[in-house]
Structure 1
């Protein structure tokens, strides 16, 4: 059992009471009090308590506690012999009281029985049959009641301190849990913010980047035809204007979606609109083949397919110098498969930019995969496969 400091006020109060009673008995002639050993013994008891509290503020270890307990018992006996009032026998109740805090309940009960035995032995050494004296029997009973009360008081104090210690430990653990929760919340917020930044970056690249690519291509055409075919140049400028308007409309749609929540998404409709929008400049012919039922697929999977088609068309227009792009979508019972094939210059290995990186991230988040085939002069074939029900 770990040592616990006894209640600090109990011993001094009892010492002061015994001192007052003994001195009063000596002055009033109620008994013979030997002042020097009586007061000296009580002073020594005060000193032991004071030194022990200073030396071991959190509780006396077992072996020093045994030594101090033995010294107290010897001083109790010396004070009791020098006391004319007889009240000094009450000092012995401090033996089980002090022992309870260091050695536990069993040791305290054994020492209490020993203290009661010492009092009975003292009566036996006295003159006459003490057990026939009602006053002595009453004193013995009161002493035993005092032993029981101090053991009960010590038990209550020990349990109260243990409960307080458990409560403090619980508070400490709760504070630590709150600290960890705050740290985890900060990490989650940081990860969420990073994920949102990546999502916004992908959306900007896929939406706005796609339209701006078309605008750049159309303006380059207008510049090339400005001198030799002003009419064709003007048509390219008009097409660039319409592409810029669509870009602005997409930005406004994105803002409304962020404020009010997304509208129902239909992949077939979105792809048809995407293909129709490529006819402005007549430079790239885009065709679409769509089969299957998209109702069994979630919005993240359908959106990933749409963004992949967007990225494939943008790369075909901007980097591959393609003239034809074919989009084929098949939504099966177990997986969706989409291919975007062009007749451009081909895709050089290891040349993936931010657009393809964002596309791979979208597809991987739905449990799908991306494959890019083709080579120099053979065109590029982008294949996206997403399992049905694979999106998180």
Structure 2
């Protein structure tokens, strides 16, 4: 067991008290001032030295037992040298010392053995049995032993409570450090997720309108020598797309908190109208009502259509594209087919298809793309009426 530091001071306080009582008796002439008094002082000096020595090193059971025996011998010597017999109280310290060095069982056993031995020595000897001072010493010794053991139990519990409190404080500090680390990780993850969301939004809104603007400007330049009217219309359409891009930027800065609910039918119709021309014909077929589909899912379908149409217009060489949306329970489906030259879906490295998959995944949907020399088919599906994470 762990020896409390207070035990050293309690023992030394008792040693000094008994020593001062003996010196006081000698000063009043009750006890002689001789070599016995010097030995009495020397015994207590050795006892205090023993206490401080044990408090500064780790005690094994062997050294603890040896120290207990040494104290018993020194207590007996001090009692023999004390003319008033006050040193007998020191024996009450032995169970207390044993409690913290050898364990409670040995301490209680030692206390019981001492009480039995002292009581037997008093009771079996008639002179002592009828001596009030002997009976008083026996009772005081019993009270001292009980009091010492009670202090030992209380001190042990207090020490155990202190160690538990220290352990809990350490665990709390560790948990706080882990919580702070988790908070930092969550903040980093949230920052990365927000950057990815912003990248998707910029690509799917502003990026789309800028691509359309570039297409219309290229068309205007190409048709200027051939058909000025078509060139002027393309220039007008390009200017409108640039204006829409600016509106998207302003809407993003205002966080879109007061925007009206997104209408998929209206948005798809406007998208087809912007891209449809004699060289790139887009057919739209919208089946079913969209009210039972949550806005994040409708947005995901719209951006999927936007990405597919933009890619078909810029890269596939397609002349005809069909957009078919079936907004039915339990799954809403968007199918886009073109007659372009096709591509390898696994070889794309841009943000468009990756952002499309991320948006659909956030609302519990998925996308399937098949492509070949005769065209490309994209099918995007989302569960209708679900309460999943917003894609915006």
Which residue pairs with 1:368 in the alignment? 365
| Aligned partner of 1:154 among 140, 152, 155 | 152
Q: Does 1:344 align with 2:346?
A: no
Using the TM superposition, give the Cα deviation of residue 390 of structure 1 relative to its aligned residue in structure 2, in angstroms: 7.6
Confirm or deny that 1:309 pairs with 2:305: yes
Q: 1:69 to 1:261 in 2, by over 3 A?
A: farther
**Counterpart pick for 1:170 among 168, 171, 193:** 168
Report the Cα offset of residue 169 of structure 1.
Answer: 1.1
Secondary structure of the residue aligned to 1:265 is coil
2: CA distance, partners of 1:391 / 1:342: 31
Cα 1:172–1:100 change in 2 (3 A) is same
For 1:250 and 1:283, the matched residues in 2 are separated by: 27
Equivalent residues of 1:291, 1:331 under 8 A apart: yes
Q: Which structure 1 residue ranges, 5 or more long, are not aligned?
A: none
- Helix, strand or coil for the counterpart of 1:9? helix
Would you say the 8 A contact 1:218–1:236 is kept in 2?
Answer: yes
Q: C-alpha separation between the residues in 2 aligned to 1:176 and 1:262?
A: 46
Compute the displacement of 1:282 (Å): 4.9
RMSD: 2.3
SS at match of 2:318: coil
- How far residue 122 of structure 1 moved from its aligned partner, in angstroms, is 5.9
Choose the corresponding residue for 1:292, options 288, 293, 296. 288
Match of 1:55 in 2: 57
CA distance in 2, matches of 1:88, 1:6: 23
Deviation at 1:347, TM superposition (A): 2.1
Does 2:330 align with 1:334?
yes
Structure 2 residue aligned with 1:248: 246
Give the distance between the partners of 2:249 and 2:281, measured in 1 at CA.
26
Q: TM-score, normalised by structure 2?
A: 0.90
> Any idea what SS the aligned residue of 1:129 has?
helix
For 2:116 and 2:42, the matched residues in 1 are separated by 26
Q: Which residue of 2 aligns with 1:24?
A: 24
Identify the match of residue 184 of structure 1 among 174, 182, 185: 182
| In the alignment, structure 1 residue 391 sits paired with structure 2 residue 385 | no
**Number of matched pairs:** 384
CA distance in 1, matches of 2:65, 2:202: 79
| Distance in 1 of aligned mates of 2:99 and 2:344 | 85
How far, CA to CA, are the matches of 2:268 and 2:237 in structure 1? 20
Q: 1:390 to 1:92 in 2, by over 3 A?
A: same
CA spacing shift, 1:263–1:137, aligned 2, 3 Å:
farther
Give the superposition deviation at 1:176. Answer: 0.8
Moved more, 224-233 or 169-178: 224-233
Contact 1:322/1:343 (8 A) holds in 2? yes
Contact 1:130 1:137 in 2 (8 A): yes
Partners of 2:80 and 2:105 in 1: how far apart? Answer: 29
- The answer on whether the counterparts of 1:316 and 1:342 sit within 8 Å (CA) in structure 2 is yes
1:163-222 Cα shifts (integer Å, max 9, x gaps): 111111111111111111111111111111111111110111111111111111111112
